[in-house]
Structures are given as structure tokens and as C-alpha cells.
Amino acid sequence: MTATVVRERRAVLQRRIRFIVAFTIAYNVIEAVIAIAAGTAASSGALIGFGLDSVVEVLSAAAVAWQFTRRDPERWERPTLRVIAVAFFALAAYVSVSAVLTLTGVMAPEHSTVGIIVAAVSLVVMPVASLLERATGRELGSATAIADSTQTMLCALLSGAVLVGLLLNTLFGWAWADSVAGFVIAVFAVREGIEAWKGDACATSVGMLMEDEHEDHADDEHHDPHLS
């Protein structure tokens, strides 16, 4: 694969990342407004918290969007990862506090038809966006895109927890159900936050090919045929 082809492929992948995060930001802004409004109307702390979690996802996606508008996105990899790590920790804190408040009876998920619909839609839409961003990030070799895709998937899992909690509370009065799932999600969020903070990621084909092409080109320029 020539350097020109690799650069063109990388440009395509970067445009795809920008499109995915733009969609994620737009979707989560709408989701946050609806969830907070529905939670306020139903006096549901779980739904209000779900809406606030969408704000955290917007922060993470916005950080990646900002990075990929730079002339040299790779240069901004580490600071962007730090922002995403903070978003992971904020998500873990929210889920943990929400779970504790639910278990102690301070708040409980209440019935909300709008809330159930929003959580169900997110449970379908967010995994698709996450998987597409992760696949693109792996091919591009972008730690920030991979980390943001994990953030999106955790938000999808949280949607599932909220949905299950709302349904079980409506059908059986089990207000504790989403708390159990919430604690599990919090553990994964902390783990991913630590990895993002340290900058752990899987380098992938296009990123490594670009580096290899550059090194090969440099070796050719400095190669002395008399030493062969």
C-alpha cells in the first residue's frame, strides 16, 4: 500500500469519525432535553440523572470532534484522552450516587412512558454508533475514538439499566433493579477511565502503516548504495 493511498484512507476515516461524533452530540443533546423534561414531570430522579448522563456523553464526543478538526489530530491525542477519562469518572460518580440513593429509598424510578421510549431508542441507536466508531478508531489507530466509543457503549448499557428499572418498577415495584446494573456499569466506567487517562489503546493498521511508510521513506533517503 503506497503512502498516498494510506493518507487518502486516513482522511476518509477521519471524516467518518467527525460524522459519528457530530451525530452523537446532536442525539445526546436531544436525549438530555427530553429525559430531563420527562424526569421533572414524573418526579423521577433516575430519568433526570439519565439526562445529565447524556451531557457527559456530549462532553466526551465534543472532545473527539475538537481533536479531529485540528490539522494534526494525533498531536492532541493525550489531552483529549484526559478529557474522556474525566467524562468516564463523572459517569461512574453519577451512576454510583444514583444507585445508592435508589437503594436507600431517597429516590426511585417512577413510571414515565416518555422515559421508557427514550431509554429504549437509546438502547438501539447508541450501540450502533459505538461499534461503528470503535471499528473506525481501530483502523485509524485513534485511542480517543476507541475511548469515546466505549463511553458511548457504557451510556447504552446505562439506557438499558434505566429501561429495566422503569419497567420493573412499573410492573413489580422493584426500584432496586437498575441500581444493581448501575454499580456494574460504574466499575467498568472507572476501569475505562483509568485506561484512557494512562493513554492505553490498540494501535491499528492505518496508523502503523503511515509510520512504517514514513520510516521506510527516511531509510531510502539516507541509504548509501556503496555500503550494500
> Which residues of the chain form beta strands (DSSP E)?
none
Q: What is the mean pLDDT of the chain?
A: 78
Q: What distance in Å separates the CA atoms of residue 22 and residue 104, rounded to the nearest whole number?
A: 38
Range from 102-116, 122-136, 209-223 carrying the lowest mean pLDDT: 209-223
130: confidence class by pLDDT, cuts 50, 70, 90? very high
C-alpha grid cell, residue 49: 440523572
Evaluate if residue 206 carries a pLDDT over 60.
no
The mean pLDDT value for 157-169 works out to: 83
CB 143 within 8 A of CB 200: yes
- In the chain, what percentage of residues exceed pLDDT 70? 83
CB 146 within 8 A of CB 91: no
C-alpha grid cell, residue 155: 451510556
155-186: buried (b, 16+ CB within 10 Å) or exposed (e) per residue? bbbbbbbbbbbbbbbeeeebbbbbbebbbebb
- The pLDDT of residue 120: 94
- The pLDDT of residue 201: 47
CB atoms within 10 A of CB 187: 12
Question: Which H/E stretch holds residue 105?
Answer: none
Evaluate if residue 177 carries a pLDDT over 80.
no
> Which residues of 27-136 form beta strands (DSSP E)?
none
- The pLDDT of residue 64: 80
* pTM > 0.95: no
- In the chain, what percentage of residues exceed pLDDT 90? 14
Q: What distance in Å separates the CA atoms of residue 188 and residue 185, rounded to the nearest whole number?
A: 5
Which of the two residues, 224 and 142, has the higher pLDDT score?
142
Dump pLDDT digits (tens) for 149-158: 887 888 888 8
Which of the two residues, 15 and 4, has the higher pLDDT score?
15
C-alpha grid cell, residue 114: 416518555
43: confidence class by pLDDT, cuts 50, 70, 90? low
Dump pLDDT digits (tens) for 188-205: 888 878 888 887 544 333
In degrees and rounded to multiples of 5, residue 207 shows phi and psi of -60, -45
